[in-house]
Amino acid sequence: MPLQTTTPAPGVTVNVNVPNATVDVQQPARPAPRRRPSRRIVSIETRRSSRFCVDDPQADWFVLSNDGVLFGVRGANAEICGEGIYDLNSPDAADDELEWHIKMNAPARVLEILFEYLYNRRRRTDLETVSIDLLIELIDVAEEYRVRSAIDACQKALRKHITDNALKVVQVSGKHGYNDELVRAAPYVVDEDLSVIWANLPNHLHMPWAIFREKYVACYISALETYPEHPGCARWPAIVLTVLKMLRGKPRQILIDAENIFREAREQVMVQHGPTVCCVAHIRHWCQRVLTRRNAIGDLEVPA
Ligand SMILES: [Zn+2]
């Protein structure tokens, strides 16, 4: 069909929009997405969130948790703050028989917190007060639906658990690439079996982990082997044996506790042989060698 069917009058300029020749005209045009979700009718028996209630007049997007609780949120907020929470192309959004527009892969207890990050003016849960397990569930769903502000808050809260739940922090940090948290938590789980770590870390971190762990193991072995020579002292061989027994244990645990172990050894020797006994200086020297090497162990090196 011609673009123009009448001849313009002389002196009249007509601007014609010529289609861009590079566009593949054979491609069937994609149907335009529906711009507004249809209203949903929710049965009285349906379990619903009290904080993100489907009765809220501003709630125009209904989400079903994977444990069957219905949430009402503002679609525009969900569209801006995440990816895939608001999705007009989801099969459920087109099905007017359903009570929800979309089902999310998370239970209600997690969505109750996640949806706080779709709103700026509502009070949010202090993530430092939630358990590590709930925090990890929240991280997984925030990452899945790319709710950036929730991810940032979760990462900050995760640091609180580094000392007490290092393995869980390592696991979730490795999974989502939170390198700072991973590096900070790594030393706390160096003594875990490699099989445990392998099961909790993605493949690309296995070799860096093995190298990191080996530094602790090598340092520990050197602690056992680098006792100073103390020729001519009849007491020293027995004292060395006593200290070696005190150094039995898991590599990192012993290395972290080295100052205390050697202090206790010195005190025992002084009690047994008097405060001026020659061996005390040699124990101190031994301790110093261990600490120097231990303090030179660097961080886990995460590949870029
Ligand atoms: Zn001595």
pLDDT by position in tens, the chain (length 304): 444 444 545 555 545 444 444 445 455 555 555 556 677 887 888 899 999 998 898 999 999 999 999 999 999 999 999 998 998 888 888 777 788 899 999 999 999 999 999 998 888 999 999 999 999 999 999 999 999 999 999 999 999 999 999 999 999 999 999 999 999 999 999 999 999 999 999 999 999 999 999 999 999 999 999 999 999 999 999 999 999 999 999 999 999 999 999 999 999 999 999 999 999 999 999 999 999 999 999 999 999 8
Q: What is the CA(150)–ligand 1 centre distance, in A? A: 61
Contact 49, 68 (CB under 8 A): no
Q: What is the CA(228)–ligand 1 centre distance, in A? A: 11
Long-range contacts of 269-274 (CB under 8 A, 24+ apart): 269/235, 269/239, 273/235
Q: What is the CA(147)–ligand 1 centre distance, in A? A: 65
Model confidence over 175-208: pLDDT tens digits?
A: 999 999 999 999 999 999 999 999 999 999 999 9
Q: What is the CA(210)–ligand 1 centre distance, in A? A: 39
Name the pTM for this structure.
Answer: 0.80
Rounded to an integer, what is the distance from CA 202 to the centroid of its chain? 13
For residues 148, 154, 157, 160, the Cα torsion angle rounded to the nearest 10 degrees is -130
Q: What is the CA(168)–ligand 1 centre distance, in A? A: 47
Q: What is the CA(235)–ligand 1 centre distance, in A? A: 6
